Structure 1
Amino acid sequence: MAQTLSRRAMIGRALALGCSAAASPLVTPVSLASAPFDNRLIVIILRGAMDGLDILQPYGDPALSAARPSLKTGPDDGAIDLDGFFAMHKALAPMLPMWRAQELAFVHAVSTPYRDKRSHFDGQDLLEAGTPTMGAASERDGWLNRMLQTVPGISPRLAYSVGHENMLLMSGDAPVSNWAPNVRLKLSPHGHRLAELVAHDDPAFADAYAEAAMLMGRADGGLSAMPVTGMMDAEDMQGIVGKGTYGIRQIAQFTAEKLREDARIASFSIGGWDTHRGQPAALPRAAAQLTDALLVLRETLGEVWGKTGVVAMTEFGRTVRENGTKGTDHGTGGAMILAGGAIRGGRVYGDWPGLAHGDLYKGRDLMPTRDVRAHAGWMMRGLFGLDRATLEDAVFPGMELGSNPGLIL
């Protein structure tokens, strides 16, 4: 079997590819677990640092338009007014019926405890670990797996995978089934040559890249060449992989189908949120993937949607001011997106800190007013009845949940 590399190790050998590589992993894994409760939880990691100030625009704050003259914010520029102060990006327009049905909500001015270094890798690791700081690599596990460890009777849905490692979010002692779609990575001849040069002196990377290149060239998308272990059969795989894309609609459909059965917990990621330049063109592409994923989940889950909570979260936000290339740089405070029939939607949660210079974190970023982990914790408490001590001590060690924001019906 070809050697495999972690996302961090692989990108570490290809620094010449730029930091956007961290925001667009080659593979989007899906992890699922069954559990002895009826509600469902889906966690979506938005890789690349989603700009919450563009996804959910506080156009009622006069400082926003002054800080972002090229990004065109507010209802006058096509954003969808939600409450007279916040407007969601026009790329999310297909989700307006969900908002009106109170199945969609936002949380603003939130972050992990991560500050100042603004590394995608460290930020994502901290988000998925759910801890205040990162310990030794050998000690890392994910907060969603730790939650599963507190629930008796956890068992994997099925033992299937396609040769890719688990997300850190789901890594740990609790049994979890893994499935990862094949993707077709399109590279120009110059891109192939760069990858070959990067891999030249690294046999492990060379083997992994050679396998990827072989898979890219297969007309059938490479499914028959992937090393499959466990009990996943051809019917499960059929129609799941989108050719030439991350196949986010197929990923969402697959996830929903398993949650309609006996799986109860699922996680996957969506990349493309690293908008250093050309944000007016780049952000809608990522937002369309998220929109499609949520709409497919809603449609495929059917009546189970009413028992489901979805939380989409990102490693950190972006700067309040746009940069010189019509983009935004790595920041601090950002936004979360909640969806599902089990959430109390149709509202924006959080304490708004303001965008005046004196209100910003270090004069440049949206000031976080609450921890993303607290909102994730309150969702798990509402969905699964986990007690406060378990959430604060075992799932998110050292965190205080604070007051209940009332996210779950």
Structure 2
Amino acid sequence: MTATSRRTFLTRSLALGCTAAASPLLTPVTFASAPFDNRLVVIILRGGMDGLGAIAPYGDPGYSALRGALDEGAIDLDGFYAMHPAFAPLLPLWQAQELSFVHAVSTPYRDKRSHFDGQDILEAGTGETDGVTARDGWLNRMLQTVPGLRTDTAYAIGQGEMYLTRGEAPIARWSPDIDLAISPQALLLADLIMHDDPAFRDAMAEAFELADGDGTSLTAAPSEMSMDGMVEEMAQARQGAAHRKVADFAAQRLKEDSRIAAFSINGWDTHRRQTQTLPRAMNRLADTLLTLRKRLSDTWSKTTVIAMTEFGRTVRLNGSDGTDHGTAGAMILAGGALRGGRVVADWPGLAEADLYGRRDLMPTRDVRAHAAWIMRGLFGLDQRTLETAIFPGLDMGADPRLIL
């Protein structure tokens, strides 16, 4: 193997490794039934959604200096925030007060900016900033507090389990015939060096774009599959419109005995050409939410959807017209049980002195607090239980009144 081909091989291998971290096929969709009538859907947006890109605070004087003019077709929400035009199909939900956004939120994770650690901390629901200590996920811990819980239908896209639903509470799983696997060594190597080297980072973005930004990660070992073969696999996966199939099945189960669902939507790592890659991810999310609403029909009035991500992105674009890993970001909430039609935020400002580390949006609320208040509103869980057993060490703060 020549030096050039070795570099190409390594670059593409690492690119696929980072893609697996940002948008893994190891993404289960899980369900559980419980003795209450309201429904909760948790969607993990893997890769770090750019909250400023999705919900632009154009009313802040610093916004235009950092990001330029609003995207053409952006939808004004309240005179301060505007919704990205890719979310335009969600406007009827906003008008019906079945859609809200929560801005300037984050987990307690700071500075290291690893997809792996960030996602683990998000799904574990811990307060650790330098690693995850919980052995189970916060959604499973919530289910452990509910008496009379029984297992219902559950399934996973790919292999493995979500950290979010790991634990002693009974949750069944099912996996379709997707049998792709990347070695743990490749994932670890990608995590260690990918984002420290612009060349590797751009190679990852190139591999991602070759897949048309689908967010699907190929996980076959590079020695066993050519790059052309990998792209072919990605194209085949796209044709299946997996996100709609997941939403269809989720709605079917939630209309019956299931009460809790969790799955992931991939493709939010926008290091390069964000104007091309971010809208594709937002289109999939919008499509998923609208599919859930349509398929749930009357059950939608009892449902709340939380879409959350491991961290936000930098406030400034990088040299590749993308954004790098940041700190605070945004949550997206939907559902008929939601007190919607609002952007909920303790806005920190975008002046340089107001930024976290002079590069990121400053977090002003803990993303776990909003999830906790939603569970309290939906299921009547005790605040002490939420702050100690489900999210250990959390201070939920003031009630944002997210649920009707």
Coarse TM-score class (shorter-chain normalised): 0.7 to 0.9
Which of 326, 340, 344 is residue 339 of structure 2 equivalent to? Answer: 344
| Higher mean C-alpha deviation, range 127-136 or range 280-289 | 127-136
1:273 corresponds to 2:273: no
2:60 corresponds to which letter in structure 1?
D
Distance in 2, matches of 1:290 and 1:160, equals: 19
2:95 corresponds to which letter in structure 1?
R
C-alpha root-mean-square deviation of aligned residues, in Å? 2.9
Which of 116, 120, 130 is residue 121 of structure 1 equivalent to? Answer: 116
1:325 corresponds to 2:320: yes
Q: What is the correspondence of 1:7-406 to structure 2 with a 5 Å cutoff?
A: 15=14, 17-69=16-68, 72-73=69-70, 77-133=72-128, 139-158=134-153, 164-182=159-177, 195-197=221-223, 244-245=239-240, 247-406=242-401
Distance in 2, matches of 1:267 and 1:155, equals: 16
Distance in 1, matches of 2:218 and 2:45, equals: 27
Distance in 1, matches of 2:280 and 2:264, equals: 15
Distance in 2, matches of 1:296 and 1:406, equals: 26
Contact 1:183 1:246 in 2 (8 A): no
1:79 corresponds to which letter in structure 2?
A
After TM superposition, give the deviation of residue 15 of structure 1 in Å.
3.4
Contact 1:28 1:246 in 2 (8 A): no
Give the count of matched residue pairs: 356
Q: TM-score, normalised by structure 2?
A: 0.82
Q: 1:59 to 1:167 in 2, by over 3 A?
A: same
After TM superposition, give the deviation of residue 26 of structure 1 in Å.
2.1
After TM superposition, give the deviation of residue 129 of structure 1 in Å.
0.1
After TM superposition, give the deviation of residue 66 of structure 1 in Å.
1.0
SS at match of 2:221: helix
Q: 1:196 to 1:61 in 2, by over 3 A?
A: closer
Distance in 1, matches of 2:218 and 2:403, equals: 48
2:249 corresponds to which letter in structure 1?
F
1:62 corresponds to which letter in structure 2?
P
| Higher mean C-alpha deviation, range 23-32 or range 378-387 | 23-32
Q: 1:97 to 1:182 in 2, by over 3 A?
A: farther
Contact 1:183 1:244 in 2 (8 A): no
SS at match of 1:337: strand
SS at match of 1:179: coil
Q: Point out where structure 1 has 5 or more consecutive residues left out of the alignment.
A: 1-12, 200-208, 222-241
Distance in 1, matches of 2:313 and 2:57, equals: 14
Q: TM-score, normalised by structure 1?
A: 0.81
SS at match of 2:347: coil
1:324-383 CA distance string (max 9 Å, x none): 111111000100000000000001101000000010001000000000000000000000
Distance in 2, matches of 1:136 and 1:64, equals: 33
Distance in 1, matches of 2:150 and 2:78, equals: 43
Q: 1:177 to 1:150 in 2, by over 3 A?
A: same
After TM superposition, give the deviation of residue 108 of structure 1 in Å.
0.3
Q: 1:23 to 1:162 in 2, by over 3 A?
A: closer
2:124 corresponds to which letter in structure 1?
A
Contact 2:158 2:176 in 1 (8 A): no
SS at match of 2:280: helix
Distance in 2, matches of 1:163 and 1:320, equals: 33
1:146-190 CA distance string (max 9 Å, x none): 0000000111113766872220000000000213344598999xx
1:260-289 CA distance string (max 9 Å, x none): 000000000001000000000000000001
1:234-284 CA distance string (max 9 Å, x none): xxxxxxxx7645610110010010000000000000010000000000000
Contact 1:183 1:243 in 2 (8 A): no
1:4-60 CA distance string (max 9 Å, x none): xxxxxxxxx953535233112124321000000000000000000000001000001
After TM superposition, give the deviation of residue 194 of structure 1 in Å.
8.8
SS at match of 1:173: coil
After TM superposition, give the deviation of residue 139 of structure 1 in Å.
5.0
Q: 1:138 to 1:393 in 2, by over 3 A?
A: closer
Contact 1:27 1:182 in 2 (8 A): no
Distance in 1, matches of 2:380 and 2:170, equals: 21
SS at match of 1:156: coil
Q: Point out where structure 2 has 5 or more consecutive residues left out of the alignment.
A: 1-11, 181-206, 211-216
2:61 corresponds to which letter in structure 1?
P
